[in-house]
């Protein structure tokens, strides 16, 4: 009996020792697990999971999202310059008349496009019939003097008539010839017919000297106009260029044929390309800056003279991956872009009790962490912190909408993939 009690006591001792050992092992394991979890939290985001967002068709349309990819831009080896759009003088015109008269009709209004040679007004004057009459008289005299000249020339050669008579007829003939040519040119300038009494008119057409847009109308019906006073102003904006002001310290770096990129001040961020064709040789007023002239290569925007621009002149070839500034969003002290991963078609049974049209497609976006660099003219250098597919569809516009949708989903306990 005493022997059996000893054995029983030993077994109890072994049992409690095993329990204590298991408990210690469990606690060590838990502590180790806690330490590992803590380490993960500390190295948080050492490899942070990319957050994902889904938008339905209605949300996608409302966000006005624009997709695209990286653009290669030089954002560092550049010269910043400001300037304005300008037209060369040969693409601007003032319309005036050669003789005084009264405005009879006006056929255009400001902003209207006209073609070179098109009638834009008519002018009336009693001087116009007199000019045509003088021309017709001179033309008639010319016929008589031409015949008399030939007759006197023949007589002079045969010594029948005195040479003095021939010289007088010759002088009259040459004088009338000059007068006729002068009158003809005046009629041509006034766009009046130069032959036939039936064509005599007291009204002449005022025509556009160039094609372009009417910018000023300085007359009205019945206005008494004088030579040299501008009646209309016309501009041809098809030959617009930009004048950029470059300061003395940067002047040596600027050369013809360099690329210029600029955006219009107070307009959208659409970038316009240009190329330098001339560098000024004198300072502009007292600014210690020189005008640099650049042709506009892609002028799809509506440009008018005098628009102010912010520009970059490329003086190097250091091109980097760049995106519009609006493509990058900030959260938790970091920077992100969104990638469209897939468009998922939802079956009818999955969209019961919902607006079928707005839920038939789900747009799946992934948020990718990036590092940004130099920003110029609405673009910023962007380096993804993970490799992206070459054909990745990056959200260029609408990133803030997607980010706000993500925050809203998280705040309401929404689901995060």
pLDDT in tens, 346-384: 655 554 555 554 457 888 899 999 999 888 888 899 999
Does 40 reside within a domain? no
Structural domain span for residue 252: 78-87+240-317
Single residue among 317, 345, 364 that ends a domain in this structure: 317
Q: Final residue of a domain: which of 278, 302, 317?
A: 317
| Residue where one domain finishes, among candidates 274, 297, 317 | 317
Nearest CA among 102, 49, 401 for reference residue 225 = 102
What pLDDT sits at residue 146?
81
Give burial (CB, 10 Å; 0-12/13-18/19+) of 353. Answer: exposed
Tell me the average pLDDT of the chain: 79
Residue 6: inside a domain: no
Q: Which residues contact 74 (CB under 8 A, 6 or more apart)?
A: 312, 314, 316, 317, 318, 319, 320
Nearest CA to 398 among 357, 341, 337? Answer: 337
Q: Do 110 and 162 sit in the same domain of this protein?
A: yes
* pLDDT above 90 as % of the chain: 29
Q: What CATH number does residue 329 fall under?
A: 2.40.420.20
Of 187-191, 236-240, 252-256, the least confident = 187-191
- The answer on 256 and 197 residing in a single domain is no
Q: What confidence score (pLDDT) does residue 199 get?
A: 73
Cβ–Cβ under 8 Å, residues 222 and 137? no
Mean pLDDT on 234-241: 89
pLDDT of residue 23: 46
Query: What average pLDDT does this structure show over 98-117?
Result: 94
Same domain as 271, residue 378: no
Confidence of residue 100 (pLDDT cuts 50, 70, 90): very high
What is the CATH number for 306? 2.40.30.170
Number of domains in the chain: 3
pLDDT value, residue 109: 95
Say what the pLDDT of residue 120 is: 95
Q: Are 307 and 85 in contact (CB under 8 A)?
A: yes
Same domain, 392 and 301: no
Residue 18 in any domain: the answer is no
CA dihedral 387, 392, 396, 401 (to 10 degrees): -90
Task: Give the number of other CB atoms < 10 A from CB of residue 154.
Answer: 12
Q: What's residue 415's pLDDT?
A: 46
Residue 414 has pLDDT above 90, yes or no: no
Instruction: Tell me if residue 111 falls in helix, strand or coil.
Output: coil
1, HSE (Cβ side, Cα atoms, 13 Å): 0
CATH number at residue 131: 2.40.50.100
Same domain, yes or no, for 255 and 308? yes
Residue 130 lies in a domain: yes
141: CB partners within 8 A, 6+ apart: 176
Q: What is the pLDDT of residue 33?
A: 45
Name the one residue in this structure whose structure tokens are 């008519």: 122
Report if residue 39 sits inside a domain.
no
pLDDT score of 303? 81
Q: What is the pLDDT of residue 161?
A: 62
| Structural contact between residues 110 and 129, judged by C-beta atoms closer than 8 angstroms | no
pLDDT in tens, 301-320: 678 888 898 899 998 878 88
pLDDT at 57 over 70: yes
Residues 247 and 282 in one domain: yes
> Are 247 and 225 contained in the same domain?
no
Helices (H), 43-192: 57-62, 127-157, 163-189
Helix pair angle (163-189, 127-157), 10° resolution: 150
Q: Is residue 25 part of a domain?
A: no
33 in any annotated domain: no
Band (343; pLDDT cuts 50, 70, 90): confident
Is 295 among the domain residues?
yes
226 and 177, same structural domain?
Answer: yes
Same domain, 186 and 167: yes
**pLDDT at residue 289 greater than cutoff 70:** yes
More confident residue, 241 or 15: 241
Whether residue 244 sits in one domain with residue 229: no
pLDDT at 119 over 90: yes
101 and 59 within one domain:
no
The verdict on 125 and 162 lying in the same domain is yes
For residue 174, pLDDT over 80 is answered with yes
**Range with top average pLDDT, 44-48, 194-198, 298-302:** 298-302
- Neighbouring residues of 295: CB distance < 8 A, sequence distance ≥ 6: 241, 274, 275, 277
């Amino acid at each position: 009996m005493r022997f059996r009690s000893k054995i029983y006591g030993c077994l109890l001792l072994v049992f409690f020792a095993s329990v204590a050992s298991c408990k210690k092992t469990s606690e060590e394991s838990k502590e180790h697990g806690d330490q590992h979890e803590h380490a993960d939290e500390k190295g948080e985001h050492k490899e942070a999971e990319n957050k994902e967002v889904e938008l339905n068709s209605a949300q996608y349309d409302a966000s006005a999202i624009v997709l695209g990819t990286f653009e290669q831009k030089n954002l560092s080896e550049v010269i910043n310059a400001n300037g304005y759009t300008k037209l060369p003088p040969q693409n601007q015109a003032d319309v005036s008349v050669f003789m005084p008269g009264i405005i009879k009709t006006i056929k255009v209004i400001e902003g209207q496009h006209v073609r070179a040679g098109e009638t834009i007004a008519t002018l009336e004057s009693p001087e116009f019939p007199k000019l045509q009459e003088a021309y017709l008289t001179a033309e008639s005299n010319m016929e008589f003097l031409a015949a008399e000249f030939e007759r006197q020339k023949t007589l002079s050669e045969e010594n029948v008539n005195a040479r003095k008579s021939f010289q007088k007829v010759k002088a009259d003939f040459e004088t009338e010839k000059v007068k006729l040519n002068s009158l003809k040119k005046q009629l041509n300038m006034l766009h009046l017919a130069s032959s036939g009494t039936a064509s005599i008119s007291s009204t002449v057409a005022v025509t556009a000297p160039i094609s372009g847009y009417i910018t000023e109308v300085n007359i009205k019906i019945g206005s008494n106009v004088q030579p040299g006073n501008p009646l209309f102003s016309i501009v041809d904006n098809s030959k617009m260029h930009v004048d950029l002001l470059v300061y003395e310290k940067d002047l040596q770096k600027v050369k013809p044929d360099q690329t210029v990129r600029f955006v219009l001040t107070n307009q959208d961020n659409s970038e316009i390309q240009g190329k330098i064709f001339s560098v000024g040789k004198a300072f502009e007023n007292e600014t210690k800056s020189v005008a640099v002239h650049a042709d506009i290569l892609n002028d799809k925007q509506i440009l008018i003279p005098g628009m102010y621009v912010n520009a970059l002149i490329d003086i190097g070839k250091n091109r980097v991956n760049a995106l519009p500034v609006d493509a990058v969003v900030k959260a938790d002290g970091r920077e992100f872009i969104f990638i469209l991963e897939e468009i998922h078609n939802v079956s009818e049974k999955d969209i019961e009790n919902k607006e079928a049209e707005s839920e038939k497609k789900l747009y799946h976006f992934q948020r990718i962490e990036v590092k940004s660099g130099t920003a110029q003219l609405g673009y910023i250098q962007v380096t993804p912190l993970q490799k992206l597919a070459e054909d990745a569809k990056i959200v260029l516009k609408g990133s803030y909408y997607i980010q706000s949708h993500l925050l809203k989903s998280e705040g309401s306990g929404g689901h995060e993939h």
